[in-house]
Structure 1
Amino acid sequence: MYYGEIKNYDIANGLGVRVSLFVSGCTHHCKGCFNPQTWDFNYGKPFTRETADKLLEMLSPDYIDGLSLLGGEPMEPDNQRALLPFLKEVRSRFPKKNIWCYTGYLLDEELLKPSRARCEVTDEMLSCIDVLVDGEFVEEKKNISLNFRGSENQRLIDLPLTLSTGEIHLINRLYNLR
């Protein structure tokens, strides 16, 4: 897996102060995408052990609330396979920090049912995520007043509650997670 950018002290891509990883590779190609260079699966730099260590170090201060995964597309199957061991390590080392993931795939239609996005590690990867922002960016539904998403079709999903109940639970109010 490759990544295009790492942001430390990010306040735009999730609640609180975060570390954000922008992975490379996306097949959605949304019209008006803010990051089209990351559509290329080979854009940027390889995600290595050194990259993971750097991210873990960035996550260590108490004032960092968590990790955000963006892209590109973190839920592309090859990216899921590369990210899962890292997410398990983040969970183990920082159990009180939360993980947000932005995906163009819909949870209930593509990630929990057979689709090109679903693979052998999808369920385990989803179990590591606290907030899933799902749905492709739709330029015609762009709304700059929305919290932590770009278009009105995108959903902020409380993933642990959704997975435990089997029903989609949207986050209508922002609160501290974990």
Structure 2
Amino acid sequence: MKKTIRLSGIAYESLVNGPGMRRVFFSQGCKHNCKGCFNPDTHDFNGGEEKDIDLLIQDVLDNPMIKGITFSGGDPFERAEEFSYMAKEFKKNNKNIWCYTGYTFEYIIENLELRNGWKELISNIDVLVDGKFEEDKKEDGLKFRGSSNQRIIDVKESLKCGYIVGFNL
């Protein structure tokens, strides 16, 4: 696997993309094209810029303030191989990992064997915020999600139980 990843940007210290101080990596590329998306510049798969994955990982590990990682987008599942490599390295260092995707948890599970990196990515993240952004379901005060249809899922418990378990905030 190449050791670079195409990102649209990085939020170096964020408190709004999951609990605690987090580093947020915004994937470049998305097929969902949700109406009202707040990151439409992340949709083009050729936009953004290539970054060295190992340097990104080391930069996080060198910062003791960063307690967790968030993969956002675009859609990280479109670059699952690269994000799964990052997730494995972060898990070795006890970092909490959240991931946003327009795909549903059920769709990801049904397609694990068909899409490169999906199995590795889903098995190395702690929380998945799933589902497309739906403009008509946007509500003020929703924590860590853009629309009420999106779910905040405890991935480890859901995989273990075989059904969706919500993450307790």
Normalised by the length of structure 2, the TM-score is 0.91
C-alpha offsets along residues 30-80 of structure 1, whole Å, 9 cap, x if unaligned? 00000001000111111324xx3234323443332210000000012xx00
Distance (Å, rounded) in 2 between the aligned partners of 1:37 and 1:55: 24
Asked if 2 retains the 8 angstrom alpha-carbon contact of 1:56 and 1:90, the reply is no
**The residue matched to 1:4 in structure 2 has which SS?**
strand
Q: Which residue of 2 aligns with 1:27?
A: 31
Structure 2: which 5+ runs fail to align? none
Task: Say if 2:110 is the partner of 1:113.
Answer: yes
Aligned partner of 1:155 in structure 2 is 151
Q: For the structure 1 residues 105 and 58, does the alpha-carbon distance in structure 2 shift closer, same or farther, using more than 3 Å as the test?
A: same
Q: Cα offset for 1:2?
A: 1.2
**Shift of residue 133, structure 1, vs aligned partner:** 0.2
Cα distance, 1:141 vs structure 2:
0.2
Which residue number in structure 1 is paired with residue 133 of structure 2?
A: 137
> Per-residue CA shift, 1:13-36, capped at 9, x if unaligned?
111110000010000000000000
- Counterpart residue identity of residue 87, structure 2: L
Between the aligned partners of 1:13 and 1:19, the Cα distance in structure 2 is 9
2:85 aligned residue: 85
Contact 2:98 2:129 in 1 (8 A): yes
Does the 8 Å CA contact 2:57/2:86 hold for their aligned counterparts? no
CA-CA distance at 1:122 after TM superposition: 1.2
Equivalent pair of 1:23/1:38 in contact (CA under 8 Å): yes
Question: 1:144, 1:118 → 2: CA distance?
Answer: 37
Which residues of structure 1 form unaligned runs of 5+? Answer: none
Letter in 1 for 2:88: K
Q: What does residue 50 of structure 2 align with?
A: 46
CA RMSD of aligned residues (A): 1.7
Aligned residues: 165
CA-CA distance at 1:121 after TM superposition: 2.3
The Cα offsets for residues 118-150 of structure 1, whole Å up to 9 and x where unpaired, read as 514211211110000000000000012111001
Amino acid at match of 1:144: D
Percent identity reads: 40
2:100: which partner in 1? 102
Give structure 1 regions of 4+ aligned residues with deviation exceeding 6 angstroms: none
Partners in 1 of 2:150 and 2:114 — Cα distance? 19
CA contact (8 A) 1:2 1:23 kept: yes
TM-score under structure 1 normalisation? 0.86
CA contact (8 A) 1:155 1:170 kept: yes
2:121 maps to what in 1?
A: 125
